[in-house]
């Protein structure tokens, strides 16, 4: 006996899946493009061109460190940034935390004594020490700590991290690095990516 089947749609079978798959793929593509665009914008934006803090946040004679994360870190994984110092004699100064001789950060050691003063900056890589005003005291450091421009707006301290003023060398004929002499020498700081090892030497 021949069986006849009704020509009716079978709702238990899935319909054509391609339209849904294509729609899902389009949504995922839009999400990926949006995320990539935001990531590129974030990376290209880099560090803020300035650091801001209230003047009353600075304790006289006690340097304050402000990191600038996009600059990366030194060989010992300490983040680069600015040491901001306020003293009665010199007012407010901001030093680049990087010793150009070793490319390492300097750390503030409040209890260490040197050159008749208590408290020094010390480079853990080559042992160089600096006074609170950025002057080298001991070690192979070729020059003073580089500085950032500091401005004031009411009671706010503004540190311009777009560029540094190269420090003065200990020896007039220092080899391997540039030095400030009769006039200031500035270098633009890269605001995205890690600080190159040769930055500030030429």
- Interval 41-90: pLDDT, tens: 444 444 458 899 998 999 999 999 999 888 888 888 888 999 999 998 88
> Which tops the pLDDT comparison, 9 or 106?
106
My answer on whether 110 and 35 are in the same domain is: no
The CATH number of whichever domain residue 112 belongs to comes to 2.102.10.10
Task: Answer yes or no: is pLDDT of 1 > 50.
Answer: yes
My answer on whether 39 and 137 are in the same domain is: no
Task: Answer yes or no: is pLDDT of 14 > 80.
Answer: no
Query: Considering the domain boundaries, does residue 2 fall inside one?
Result: no
Separation of first and last alpha carbons in the chain: 98
Structural domains counted in the chain: 2
E-strand ranges in the chain read: 50-54, 64-67, 81-87, 91-96, 106-114, 117-123, 129-130, 136-138, 147-153, 156-165, 186-188
Tell me which residue range forms the domain holding 27: 16-45
My answer on whether 114 and 135 are in the same domain is: yes
Query: Considering the domain boundaries, does residue 11 fall inside one?
Result: no
Give residue 23's Cα distance to chain centre: 42
Query: Considering the domain boundaries, does residue 10 fall inside one?
Result: no
Average pLDDT over residues 104-126: 92
Task: Answer yes or no: is pLDDT of 174 > 70.
Answer: no
My answer on whether 156 and 173 are in the same domain is: yes
Per cent of the chain over pLDDT 90 is 47
């Amino acid at each position: 006996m021949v069986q006849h089947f009704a020509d009716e749609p079978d709702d238990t079978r899935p319909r054509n899946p391609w339209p849904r798959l294509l729609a899902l793929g389009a949504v995922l593509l839009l999400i990926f493009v949006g995320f990539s665009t935001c990531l590129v914008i974030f990376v290209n934006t880099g560090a803020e061109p300035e650091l801001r803090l209230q003047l009353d946040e600075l304790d006289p004679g006690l340097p304050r460190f402000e990191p600038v994360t996009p600059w990366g870190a030194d060989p010992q994984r300490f983040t680069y940034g600015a040491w901001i110092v306020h003293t009665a004699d010199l007012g407010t100064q901001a030093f680049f935390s990087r010793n150009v001789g070793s490319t390492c950060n300097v750390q503030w050691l409040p209890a260490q004594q040197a050159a008749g003063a208590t408290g020094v900056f010390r480079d853990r890589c080559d042992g160089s020490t600096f006074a609170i005003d950025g002057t080298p005291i001991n070690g192979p450091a070729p020059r003073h700590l580089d500085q950032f421009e500091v401005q004031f707006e009411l009671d706010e301290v503004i540190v311009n991290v777009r560029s540094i003023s190269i420090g003065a060398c200990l020896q007039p004929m220092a080899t391997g690095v540039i030095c400030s002499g009769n006039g200031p020498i500035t270098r633009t700081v890269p605001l995205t990516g890690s600080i190159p090892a040769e930055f500030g030497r030429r």
